[in-house]
Structure 1
Amino acid sequence: MPISRKLALDDDQVEEILTTTWNCRIATLGPGTRINLTPMWFAWAGGRVYLYGRGQKVVNLRRNPACSIVVDRNERFLELQAIMMQGTATVLEDADAEAADPHLAHARVQFARKYNGGHGQPAVDDPPPNDATAT
């Protein structure tokens, strides 16, 4: 069902929410009809959501790359704002796949800027680069 224009977020609001909100939730399809819904830290770069993780959600995405992601903010009902995305995930399995991704370097910078210091911790002025690669 379409959202009325009065309630819809504009492009600037969407960009701001996706670059500043700490958590998203990703829904993946497990075996059969089971849905796995997982809160994750994320980065928004090049019009894509980047997640760093392992476990059941990655197993699910390898089997079936269809997924949904929601990013929301505010606690009070009348102030809620949310972005829901549906798409096809790509699991970057090795260093070659990472090197071929045109937005991964920017996503790593976004991760470092957003989560530098963690919840309630002082941020380091110049976060070290994230050079983690697929193994």
Structure 2
Amino acid sequence: MSRSPRRDAIRMDADALVRYVVARAADTSVAVATLGPNGRPHLVPLWYVVRDADPAATPPLRLASWTYARSQKAVNLRRDPRATLLVESGRTYDELRGVSLECDVELVTDLAEVTSIGVELATARTPGVAASAVRELVAAQAPKRVGLVFTPTRIVSWDHTKLGGGY
């Protein structure tokens, strides 16, 4: 099946994709879809941090987050460790930008690594606050949580700003 020239025109290259996902991490959440017990999507927002961002690598990035170990998304991911993530922005058609990432998900239970992910999230969301300032609070929450590391197996992106206002 051939791809549309228009689709090719709005696709982000690896550098733009990594820059976009990294930039959005500071001020938005990622929508995470897992499969619930009834087979329907379970869709929730999560704060995230970007790991291993290298446009030359395959995949060019991984994302990490955490959640309560007993949450529905964690239960779903224990049963089926796959998720689809969406990072998007834009209010009008000519501003639409986004990245959809189909991912394999690693559930992290090692307390030190869960704490590390929590500290990364807390410091990323509170610029200027040192990791040492949040470590105690995060460490108190970590025993009830699991880390989530999302490794993309397929990435689709779009950037309508490349269309120059044309539809």
Asked which structure has the greater RCO (Cα within 8 Å, sep 6+), the reply is 2
8 Å CA contact 1:29, 1:35 repeated in 2: yes
| SS of structure 1 residue aligned to 2:99 | strand
In 1, Cα distance between equivalents of 2:73 and 2:62 = 18
What is the match of residue 36 of structure 1? 42
Q: How many angstroms does 1:32 deviate by?
A: 2.5
**TM-score normalised to the size of structure 1?**
0.75
Q: How many angstroms does 1:79 deviate by?
A: 1.1
Q: How many angstroms does 1:126 deviate by?
A: 4.0
In 2, Cα distance between equivalents of 1:17 and 1:44 = 11
**TM-score normalised to the size of structure 2?**
0.62
Q: Which amino acid aligns with 2:95?
A: E
Superposition map of 1:40-79 within 5 A: 40-46=46-52, 47-54=61-68, 55-79=71-95
| SS of structure 1 residue aligned to 2:18 | helix
What is the match of residue 115 of structure 1? 125
User: CA distance change for structure 1 residues 14 and 107 in 2, over 3 Å: closer, same or farther?
Assistant: farther
Can you list the C-alpha shifts for 1:29-76, whole angstroms capped at 9, x where unaligned?
111212100011111111211112121111111111111001111221
Q: How many angstroms does 1:12 deviate by?
A: 2.4
In the alignment, structure 2 segments of 5+ residues that lack a partner are 53-60, 144-167
Q: Which amino acid aligns with 2:125?
A: Y
Matched residue count? 122
Q: Which amino acid aligns with 2:12?
A: L
| SS of structure 1 residue aligned to 2:106 | coil
What is the match of residue 11 of structure 1? 14
Identity of aligned residues (%): 23
8 Å CA contact 1:44, 1:107 repeated in 2: no
Choose which of 83, 98, 102 in structure 1 pairs with 2:99.
Answer: 83
Q: How many angstroms does 1:95 deviate by?
A: 2.4
In 2, Cα distance between equivalents of 1:68 and 1:95 = 25
Whichever structure has more strand as a proportion of its residues is 2
8 Å CA contact 2:84, 2:103 repeated in 1: yes
Moved over 2 A (4+): 1-5, 104-109, 111-114, 125-134
Q: How large is the Cα RMSD of the aligned pairs?
A: 2.7
Whichever structure has more helix as a proportion of its residues is 2
